[in-house]
Chains A and B, each alone.
Chain A
Amino acid sequence: MSDITREDVAHLARLARLAVTDDELDVFSGQLDAILDTVGRVSEIDDDVPPTSHVAPITNVLRADEHIPSLDREAALAGAPAAEEGRFRVPRILGEEL
């Protein structure tokens, strides 16, 4: 058993920036436990096998170091939840407890 507790879910949710509710802690702890039980079967794989992180037959892709056009500012800001003076407007970054 993976034994994912409510506290574990709360911790993961904090790391993942998800303000989960109390109800979700209950539901997710059971579900994550069941999922981890299933996927945990990979632990049987022999440690000597080398890992494969991707299968693209490519190691690096370079392009000429030339100026090419990119999105203009207006287009880049068009979908922003809040913009001000040609920039993304964001909430305060530092918490008061710091």
Chain B
Amino acid sequence: MSSPDAELTRLDAAEIARRVQAREVSSVDVTRAHLARIDAVDGAEGGGLGAFLHVAAEQALATAAEIDAEIAAGTVRGPLAGVPVAIKDNMATRDMPTTCASRILEGWRPPYDATAVRRLREAGLVPLGKTNLDEFAMGGSNENSAYGIVRNPWDPSRVPGGSSGGSAAATAAGETPLAIGSDTGGSIRQPGAFTGTVGCKPTYGTVSRYGLVAFSSSLDQIGPFGRTVLDAAMLHEVIGGHDPCDQTSIDAPLPPVVEAALAGARGDLTGVRVGVVTELSGEGYQTGVLSAFTDAVRVLTDLGAEVVEVSCPSFTSAMPAYYIIAPSEASSNLARFDAMRYGLRVGDDGSHSTDEVMSLTREAGFGPEVKRRIMIGTHALSAGSYDALYGKALKARTLVVRDFAAAFEQCDVLVSPTVPTTAFPIGDRVDDPVAMYLADLCTIPANLAGTAGLSVPCGRAPEDGMPVGLQVMTPALADDRAYRVAAAYETARDSAAGAPFASTIPDPADLDGRAPLRSVSTLQGAS
């Protein structure tokens, strides 16, 4: 880790941006260092992390050279110009494949860029490639990818979380300083917690979903990953803002998240009212998660925050409601994969009808979790079950919205552990979908209510040494509050430890004695 290249991959994005824009280092050198890092730690064949599904080395170096030339000529496109970034592979990229980690979209090249991707390019960031995920973002462990698992940089025998597992692992391992992911029920915050990175699900409608392959349209939201709160905030401002191409995009100014992160870092939370959600702790929560969370809340108190306990009784029905609403929307959204306009086609031999070709293609192209969710959604929307399942889930959603509204009358932000446990061993939950769904318990309410949530690392669980996340939730369009509180906490955490938390992430290149692993083919056969 002493080579100049390795040093560049440990820098945070704000510092890389400063050095590149001051011409102390070139974007090409920074990009090359990260590509070398990917080469060293990512190759899935050699037991590497498997965080990337596609690395666009040549394009990245060409983009970096272009940014360097602009800077030399006196033009800086934006605060993160010249900084590498990774993109979850469920966002359309016109110069890279977009597979959603599904066989049904193997090799597909979209004819356009997602708005979030276009904004990255316009702001001068350097896309390194596309990251692995649970197929169509359905899962909490990245084990549902058709192209292999992703390993957790803290312990390669454990999952990185999901569905944005590749973006989280790549950010933690220094393969990229920044990444974007999507969060439908916790898919940014949960892998953020599992990998010791910062991840934010912005307020619904504040980052355009145009070009994000739809899973559950009323819940899906794109958001940033970074190793520091400020980095996540800077990326958040690049991708956010109104977009006429997304009909649910909110035409309002983005909350000032960078300003809030900078203000928070001064470490004063005097007057901030923090609510600890009663229903998001207790039985079923890992001991080390609860102790890390309790310690974090104590830090918030020390910083001047006023901490109260708040009850949100409906949060206990959020998980069941989510696992009706999300599959229902998915069963409709994924009907577009019909083998006619793009993607895989199976059985088109002259003997099968369109209807049969569709069924054969979807059978061959979708993995087991996607099939389960499509069938659950089909069931929940069918005439006999609509009222008892889908209708009731929408009512439960109303109660969650009301509980948030009542809680935010008493508090400025709500806090909870991001996940009830730390990252679990690869293979542990693949045969038990319900156990897998529990990983989203604390993150789902914010998706149902369209409010914002951010996960910031708050230490490690003593029993397994794995990182724990502190979730900070805010009202809609008040994302800045989460950044302020998280940045204040981060500053106190690092000053108490005497070193930035990110500097304690183990280097996967140094890890040995990896636990024996089940093969990927075993995992894929888990239907």
Q: Which A residues contact B (CB, under 8 angstroms)?
A: 4, 8-9, 12-21, 24, 27-28, 31-32, 34-36, 38-47, 49-58, 61, 63, 71, 75-76, 78-82, 88, 90-95
Cα A50 to Cα B401 in complex, Å, equals 12
B109 x A78 contact (CB < 8 A)? yes
Per-residue interface assignment for chain B, residues 355 to 368, with 1 indicating a CB less than 8 Å from any chain A CB and 0 otherwise: 11111101100101
A39 vs chain B, min Cβ distance (A): 4
B433 x A35 contact (CB < 8 A)? yes
Besides A16-B371, A79-B109, A79-B111, 4 more A-B contacts (Cβ < 8 Å) are A18-B362, A51-B398, A52-B395, A81-B340
Instruction: Take A34-B433, A41-B317, A56-B450 as given contacts and tell me if A18 and B250 are in contact as well, using a CB distance cutoff of 8 Å.
Output: no
Q: Which of B360, B374, B399 contacts A45 (CB 8 A)?
A: B399
Cα A8 to Cα B385 in complex, Å, equals 13
Cα A22 to Cα B340 in complex, Å, equals 26
Q: For residue A51, which residues in chain B have a CB less than 8 angstroms away from its CB?
A: 391, 394-395, 397-398
A57 x B250 contact (CB < 8 A)? yes
Cα A51 to Cα B527 in complex, Å, equals 33
B497 within 8 A of A: no
Cα A39 to Cα B379 in complex, Å, equals 12
A-B contact pairs, 16 of them (CB 8 A): A4-B379, A13-B371, A35-B433, A35-B434, A35-B437, A38-B437, A41-B317, A46-B395, A52-B394, A52-B401, A54-B218, A56-B248, A56-B450, A57-B250, A81-B345, A81-B348
Q: Which of A35, A47, A55, A95 contacts B204 (CB 8 A)?
A: A55
Tell me which of B161-169, B318-326, B453-461 binds A.
B318-326
Instruction: Take A32-B375, A45-B317, A91-B354 as given contacts and tell me if A18 and B363 are in contact as well, using a CB distance cutoff of 8 Å.
Output: yes
B353 within 8 A of A: yes
Q: Which of B218, B354, B434, B437 contacts A53 (CB 8 A)?
A: B218
Within 8 A of A (CB), among B299-350: 317, 319-321, 323-324, 331, 335, 338-345, 348, 350
Cα A23 to Cα B277 in complex, Å, equals 43
A49 x B111 contact (CB < 8 A)? no
Q: Which of A8, A17, A43, A53 contacts B388 (CB 8 A)?
A: A43
Cα A57 to Cα B252 in complex, Å, equals 11
Cα A47 to Cα B449 in complex, Å, equals 19
Cα A57 to Cα B248 in complex, Å, equals 8
Q: Which of A18, A31, A76 has the most chain B CB atoms closer than 10 A to its own CB?
A: A18
Instruction: Take A19-B362, A41-B317, A52-B401 as given contacts and tell me if A78 and B374 are in contact as well, using a CB distance cutoff of 8 Å.
Output: no
B393 x A42 contact (CB < 8 A)? yes
A17 x B399 contact (CB < 8 A)? no
A64 vs chain B, min Cβ distance (A): 11
Q: For residue B450, which residues in chain A have a CB less than 8 angstroms away from its CB?
A: 54-56
Instruction: Take A24-B527, A35-B372, A45-B395 as given contacts and tell me if A80 and B341 are in contact as well, using a CB distance cutoff of 8 Å.
Output: yes
B145 within 8 A of A: no
B389 within 8 A of A: yes
Q: For residue B339, which residues in chain A have a CB less than 8 angstroms away from its CB?
A: 81
Instruction: Take A17-B358, A45-B317, A55-B204 as given contacts and tell me if A39 and B324 are in contact as well, using a CB distance cutoff of 8 Å.
Output: yes
Q: For residue B109, which residues in chain A have a CB less than 8 angstroms away from its CB?
A: 78-79
B408 within 8 A of A: no
B396 x A45 contact (CB < 8 A)? yes
Cα A92 to Cα B350 in complex, Å, equals 8
Give 3 closest A-B pairs by Cβ, nearest first: A51-B394, A55-B450, A81-B345
Q: For residue B160, which residues in chain A have a CB less than 8 angstroms away from its CB?
A: none
Cα A18 to Cα B359 in complex, Å, equals 5
B394 x A32 contact (CB < 8 A)? no
B353 x A34 contact (CB < 8 A)? no
B266 within 8 A of A: no
Q: For residue B476, which residues in chain A have a CB less than 8 angstroms away from its CB?
A: 55, 57
Find the B residue at minimum CB distance from A58: B248
B244 within 8 A of A: yes
Cα A82 to Cα B205 in complex, Å, equals 36
Q: For residue B205, which residues in chain A have a CB less than 8 angstroms away from its CB?
A: 56-58
Cα A76 to Cα B111 in complex, Å, equals 7
Q: Which of A36, A41, A46, A80 contacts B376 (CB 8 A)?
A: A36
